[in-house]
Chains A and B, each alone.
Chain A
């Protein structure tokens, strides 16, 4: 076990995933916005809506390819970087990934080609159906990947099999209908819709500020305002905090986010601000609002939100039980038919993962002393200051988005969105904010999962492949350079497309003097 390799593998995975998720949310949201825009075109038959759909479709396309390119890496990085993870949970974790390919990737990838190349070969309704399939495909893909991710946070429907030394599925229905996965799915795709809405709203505002392409811009503004308001409400109201009371690890995540060092009487108050101090295990200068946390987290006034110290005590008990399972497993490895050992193992196997936490400190967890077990129990606490702050920034931006889209919706309803220059400037400069929020959302969810790769089952520091730091540095540096270059190219192309506006690009085709869109004259 090499700490350097584990940390580098985590760095590589974090970079790939965070980079991948710069492009995915825009794809998730914009695909549905294209459906809305094209549906208006099909229903009204007005050419301007075709123009609108094609223009945003162009930006969608530039962004889409990088989502695909980076997703390719993700599909294989479990195998390349997390070999032991792949062996240990592949029986459960692989299935959603394979189904994602069959059910979602084929759909989006096959139809995205027709979406771009089929304008002249398909009927209006046929093309709309194709665009819809792309949107459905991208969103189903998010569903399956979040079922996989949700299982890492709340590993239901599975048990350790000593004959194969891995987790195996016992109940697929439970994996599929995992409440953590469902909450994450709604939360994540809604966040993607917010990103896409703000891109459309912000760019439309830019055009309105400049007085250019206003026919496209004011219509796009309205679509984005409505879609964005619904989505931003959905992100916050259906935020995935509701899943945070389910398991010990999810409870720990919540306690860390709130810097709740000890359980307090129900309903718990929420800490708005403060300075969590990990050495004294207290939060200094805490500003608390009574009741709110209990209401959000437990949806009740009488249930407690468990504090970190109490959760650590529980972890200590689970480590003690896990050590018994670990010793029994040692016997079973040598003699698979030993029935006593099997009975003991089965009684304690749900805590086997907790014994593996000891491997960070001692080679054989079976020989751990009570003092070591007590100190190791504190390993289950993630980094409290990081959790505390990433969550607050994310949630703050979430509320800001509701305000922003509510204002946009109001302005559009009052037909003031063409003239409210203060808001147009604000919407333009706010474009990066939801990206910051979603990236921090992943940081909260996945750092909050630590020290586990799979909650309560497999610690991250055991999940890696047998690689060398040199190999990891080679690919991290190479891919950072490659991804960095591509990101710069993509941003430039998108900016050029925006600057160029919704007129068909003469560079892409031979000049066609007759092809002057009505829009160009209108603007």
Chain B
């Protein structure tokens, strides 16, 4: 009936899910990183304004990757949208509260001159950068571990365990990796975007630490997954074009299963290798004062780390740790064939347009930001 069959459409949307998450991490990721670094890399008001204005004109567009991520998961993976956001209810509201501080922080900080006023917004922006970075990582860690939910015969989901249950040594490690990855990306952006001087020097110091931390934490995460017996396996016959009904498939926890895909498909090793090589490249770029190389490195590293998670788990998207018939996979959690097809068409038409005008917006704002320029114009925050 369509250009693609149902199985292919599901694979396309699984890939698009990854692309959207990577798009979010690569664009809004450096905004989060810069915000988390703000109180540390910039000390005077002039330095802080300069730091903020490296991202002020473009961060809002970047944030749309997050909103689009939510909308696209809703449209293409309604089970995942329904179960993950309600299961992680308090964590989700924590992230939202932190993210809400960003638009107001950017805009309102410059509206009044008081030191306390501005310092208050600087810390609000720090929270708006650090907390989401941490919680996103913790959430990914929980997805890798499997979440404690079950689905009844009406497809209503229920959960065991609260907010604190989300924090285990492994998930905290994932949270820290996420912070390191985004702080690295943020410092690489900052080093590229501010004038040479104190702020850039400090960004390079934090960037160095973040690059090393990324490599160490990513390696530790791999070790946890390999030794900690993490992973799930499908144990029933699967029809990749069957109706989206989790109750009709069965899965079991199976130690080390998350590494199985790499044995079966060695090309997938590209992702973790990129995660390491990218961070190493970023480190070299930062130390060698080659800012574009550093930014390219942090970009590759973040893309590699996120792709590693997706590829390790395939075909699982959100495994249940307590019920064999509730795990969500590429084959049982998607929208209908018609919806997936329509959304592929919409994406193919609109996404290139979005990328084109986003690139144009960056071109208009191209160039390093300096304290003098900010002091001379009405437009900066």
Q: Which of B78, B103, B339, B378 has the most CB of A within 10 A?
A: B78
Closest CB in chain A relative to B172 CB, distance in Å: 22
Q: Which residues of B contact A172 (CB under 8 A)?
A: 338, 342
Residue A504, interface by CB 8 Å: yes
Please tell me if the beta carbons of A83 and B86 are within 8 angstroms of each other in the complex.
yes
Nearest to A117 among chain B residues (CB) is: B57
Q: Are A117 and B107 in contact (CB under 8 A)?
A: no
Interface centre among A83, A118, A493 (most CB of B within 10 A): A83
Q: What residue of chain B has the Cβ atom nearest to residue A89's Cβ?
A: B78
**A105 adjacent to B243 (CB under 8 Å):** no
Chain B hits for A98, CB < 8 A: 68, 71-72, 74-76, 343, 346
Q: Please give, as numbers and ranges, the residues of chain B lying within 8 Å of A414 by CB-CB distance.
A: none
Q: How far is the CA of A119 from the CA of B158 in the complex (A)?
A: 52
Q: Is the CB of B74 within 8 A of A73?
A: no
The number of A-B residue pairs with CB atoms under 8 Å apart is 269
**Complex contacts, A68 vs chain B, CB 8 Å:** 60, 63, 103
In the complex the two chains form, is A102's CB within 8 Å of B346's CB? yes
Which of B193-201, B211-219, B272-280, B354-362 forms part of the interface with chain A? B354-362
B165 at the interface (CB under 8 A from A): no
CA distance A103 to B68 in the complex (A): 10
Residues from chain A with Cβ under 8 Å of B86 in the complex: 79-81, 83, 86, 465-467
Nearest residue (CB) in B for A144 is: B71
Main secondary structure of the interface of B (DSSP, over half): helix
Q: Which residue of A lies closest to B245 (CB)?
A: A164
Cβ–Cβ < 8 Å partners of A170 in chain B: 338
A161 to B56, CA, bound (A): 47
Chain A residues touching B, majority SS: helix
Q: Which residues of B contact A87 (CB under 8 A)?
A: 78-79, 82-83, 155-157
Is B107's CB under 8 angstroms from A91's CB? no
Q: Which of A37-45, A206-214, A505-513 contacts B (4 or more CB under 8 A)?
A: A505-513
Q: Which residues of B contact A489 (CB under 8 A)?
A: 104, 108
**A169-B336 contact, Cβ under 8 Å, with A105-B68, A113-B58:** yes
Taken residue by residue from 343 to 360, chain A's Cβ proximity to chain B (1 for < 8 Å, 0 otherwise) reads as 000000000000000000
**B11 at the A interface (CB under 8 A):** no
What B residues does A121 contact at CB under 8 A?
364-365
Cβ A80 vs Cβ B92 within 8 A: yes
Kindly state whether residue B4 has any CB partner on chain A within 8 Å.
no
- Residues of A contacting B335 in the complex (Cβ-Cβ under 8 angstroms): 90-91, 94, 168
Which chain B residue has the least Cβ–Cβ distance from A79? B85
Q: How far is the CA of A505 from the CA of B113 in the complex (A)?
A: 11
Query: Contact check: which of A66, A83, A119 meets B82 at CB < 8 Å?
Result: A83
Most A-side CB within 10 Å, residue of B61, B72, B245: B61
Question: Would you give the 0/1 interface string for B113-131, flagging 1 where the beta carbon is closer than 8 Å to chain A?
Answer: 1000000000000000000
Looking across the interface, which residue of chain A has its beta carbon closest to that of B158? A466
- Does A73 lie within 8 Å of B375, measured CB to CB? no
B167 at the interface (CB under 8 A from A): no
Evaluate contact between A86 and B82: CB separation under 8 angstroms: yes
Interface residues of B in 48-69 (CB under 8 A from A): 56-61, 63-64, 66-68
Residue numbers in B under 8 Å from A114 (CB-CB): 57, 361, 364-365
Of the candidate stretches B94-102, B228-236, B288-296, B307-315, the one touching chain A is: B94-102
Interface size in chain B (residues, C-beta < 8 A):
77
Q: Mark A382-419 against chain B: 1 for CB-CB distance below 8 A, else 0.
A: 00000000000000000000000000000000000000
CA A493 – CA B59 in complex, angstroms? Answer: 22
Partner of A101, one of B68, B104, B358: B68
Given contacts A87-B155, A474-B90, contact A161 B78 (CB under 8 A): no
Q: CB within 8 Å of A: which of B333-381?
A: 335-336, 338-339, 342-343, 346-347, 350-351, 354, 357-358, 361, 364-365, 375-380
Shortest CB-to-CB span from A161 to chain B, Å, is 7
In the complex, chain A residues whose CB is within 8 Å of the CB of B97: 478-479, 482
When the two chains form their complex, are residues B346 and A99 in contact, meaning their CB atoms are under 8 A apart? yes
- Say whether B71 contacts A165, CB under 8 Å: no
With contacts A86-B74, A164-B245 known, is A508 near B104, CB below 8 A? no
| Closest Cβ–Cβ distance, residue A445 to chain B (whole Å) | 22
A110: contacting residue among B73, B82, B112, B361, CB under 8 A: B361
Q: Tell me, yes or no, whether A461 is within 8 Å of chain B by CB.
A: no
Contacts of B168 in A (CB 8 A): none
The answer to whether B107 and A120 touch across the interface, beta carbons within 8 angstroms, is: no
The A76-114 residues at the B interface (CB cut-off 8 A) are 76, 78-81, 83-88, 90-95, 97-103, 105-107, 109-114
9 residue pairs, one from A and one from B, having the closest CB atoms: A90-B78, A79-B85, A94-B75, A94-B74, A110-B61, A465-B86, A101-B68, A98-B71, A86-B82
Q: Taking beta carbons and an 8 Å cutoff, which residues of B are in contact with A?
A: 56-61, 63-64, 66-68, 70-76, 78-79, 81-86, 89-90, 92-93, 96-97, 99-100, 102-104, 106-108, 110-113, 153-159, 162, 243-245, 335-336, 338-339, 342-343, 346-347, 350-351, 354, 357-358, 361, 364-365, 375-380
| Besides A65-B107, A109-B63, A475-B90, 4 new A-B residue pairs in contact (Cβ under 8 A), listed by A number | A62-B107, A72-B99, A79-B81, A486-B104
